[in-house]
Amino acid sequence: MLIVQKYGGSSVADAQCIKRVASRITKNKNEGHEIVVVVSAMGDTTDYLVDLVNEVTENPGEREMDMLLSTGEQVSIALLAMAVKDLGFDSISMTGAQAGIYTDSVHTKARIKEIQCDRLRDELAMGKIIIVAGFQGLNHSGDITTLGRGGSDTTAVALAIALDADICEIFTDVDGVYTADPRIVSEAVKLDTISYDEMLELAHLGAQVLHPRSVELAKINNIPLHVRSSFNLNSGTIVKEVDNMEQAVVVTGIAHDLNVARISLFDVPDKPGIAWKVFQALAEAHINVDMIIQSAMEDNINDISFTIGASDLSIALNLMDSIKNDVGFSRYTWDDSIAKVSIVGAGMATNPGVAARMFGALAKNNINLDMISTSEIKISCTINNNQAVEAVNALHKEFNLDKN
Ligand code: ADP
Ligand code: ASP
Ligand code: MG
């Protein structure tokens, strides 16, 4: 079998961890499998590099940001390849570029366009264990790009697809995908399986355990993912296509996201093309907009509020300054002390009253709702970020997720 495995930052946090991963990989190799491993930067290296940037400049520029952040993974691939060789196995480390991973040019949020696998296949044919740097690629101008925070998961899934792997395993610091982040909900329960659609929503809504794009790629290519712990041998969670008929529960999981900011525009003229101008400007800057609310029009003016990732806030505010006169709004406000909490479940589509239950549970805990958005399989609302933990726990109880 050809196995692609991904080990996250906490799984390779120090020398001891790296040796443990090396021994796990070589055991799989000894069982007769071909192994391609994707690794993240060690521990909190990427956070440390971001902090360093903030000490140096307010305007790092995205190309240089990628140049810097991609270095973390280069350290871990080399060390892991050395540890694997030490155990008597042939191994080779490769950067994203060396592995043939080509992306578009959207620095810090690049998307993989193609993987040229020839070198990978040659090295595999020579019996080597290949260790690839996650999270990075090369654009067609030859510059290093990164795939967005948490992007190593996406590298692994993309490689599994390109190499037509038999299994794609995502090793992390928890036993699998839980009904909520086990770090903040002690009663969270591990799920044995979850559908691509539900996992995609959870990942988009802040469940850090998988990078959203990795789930998207897995779904499109119908490749199951096994999310499991690198610290034990327990089987984890399989992310796969699940028939809707099997959806017995209304709510499968709760997600929360603290990386959210809201911008509100006041006195926006009520005429065609105005919303287009605002959101086109954001789209051109590659800023993802999540919730949008336009208040009831009065005297031919509206108020428009929308949420974006908190890390995009300063760029978005500059943009608002630059389009203010053209769009014609009188002023804007912003708030980055908000959090988004969401309930996700495919069973929701056919069960009425779920929103009422959600809002009731939050009200009982004195949690005020700000913006609300819904889709067939999720309901999200923004609240004050210091009530996020309380909100997630309240919702977990309300939907009996501890009794799975
Ligand atoms: P890695 O470094 O292995 O990529 P991450 O920190 O990116 O690990 O993701 C794992 C973390 O995701 C867990 O430690 C957990 O706190 C968090 N998490 C958030 N929501 C969930 C969830 N529903 N199930 C499991 N883990 C979750
Ligand atoms: N090292 C990168 C990050 O911390 C990528 C990853 O870990 O997936 O975001
Ligand atoms: Mg991760």
CA distances for 347 relative to 76, 131, 237, 241, 350, angstroms? 41, 40, 19, 15, 6
Q: Which two tokens stand for residue 305?
A: 């509020």
- For residue range 323-380, what is the model confidence (pLDDT) as tens digits? 999 999 999 999 999 999 999 998 888 888 999 999 999 999 999 999 999 999 999 9
Strands 253-269 and 301-309, bridge-based pairing: antiparallel
What would the 3-class secondary structure string for 132-170 be? EECCEEECCCCCEEECCCCCHHHHHHHHHHHCCCCEEEE
- Residue nearest atom 6 of ligand 2, based on CA coordinates: 150
| pLDDT confidence bin for 246, thresholds 50/70/90 | low
Beta-bridged to residue 340, according to DSSP, are: 257, 382
- For residue range 260-314, what is the model confidence (pLDDT) as tens digits? 999 999 999 988 899 999 999 999 999 999 999 988 777 888 999 999 999 999 9
**What ligand 2 atom has the least distance to the C-alpha of 147?**
5
Pocket test for ligand 1, best of 154, 181, 209, 342 (most atoms within 8 A of CB): 209
Average pLDDT over residues 61-68: 97
| 391, pLDDT greater than 70 | yes
Q: What is the pLDDT, as a whole number, of residue 347?
A: 87
Ligand nearest to the CA of 151: 2
Q: What are the structural domains, with CATH classification, of the chain? A: 2-173 (3.40.1160.10), 254-403 (3.30.2130.10)
Cβ atoms < 10 Å from Cβ of 337 = 12
Pocket test for ligand 1, best of 172, 239, 401 (most atoms within 8 A of CB): 172
Q: What is the pLDDT, as a whole number, of residue 182?
A: 97
Q: What is the pLDDT, as a whole number, of residue 352?
A: 81
Closest CA to 73 of 137, 159, 4, 121: 137
Average pLDDT value for the chain: 95
Average pLDDT over residues 59-82: 97
Q: What is the pLDDT, as a whole number, of residue 351?
A: 81
* Cα 374 to ligand 1 centre (Å): 24
Q: What is the pLDDT, as a whole number, of residue 2?
A: 97
| 16, pLDDT greater than 60 | yes
Pocket test for ligand 2, best of 10, 69, 77 (most atoms within 8 A of CB): 69
Burial class (CB in 10 A: 0-12, 13-18, 19+), 52: exposed
Q: What is the pLDDT, as a whole number, of residue 389?
A: 98
- Residue nearest atom 27 of ligand 1, based on CA coordinates: 181
**Cβ of 150 less than 6 Å from ligand 2:** yes
Ligand nearest to the CA of 171: 1
| 244, pLDDT greater than 80 | no
- For residue range 87-134, what is the model confidence (pLDDT) as tens digits? 999 999 999 999 999 999 999 999 999 999 999 999 999 999 999 999
* Cα 40 to ligand 2 centre (Å): 6
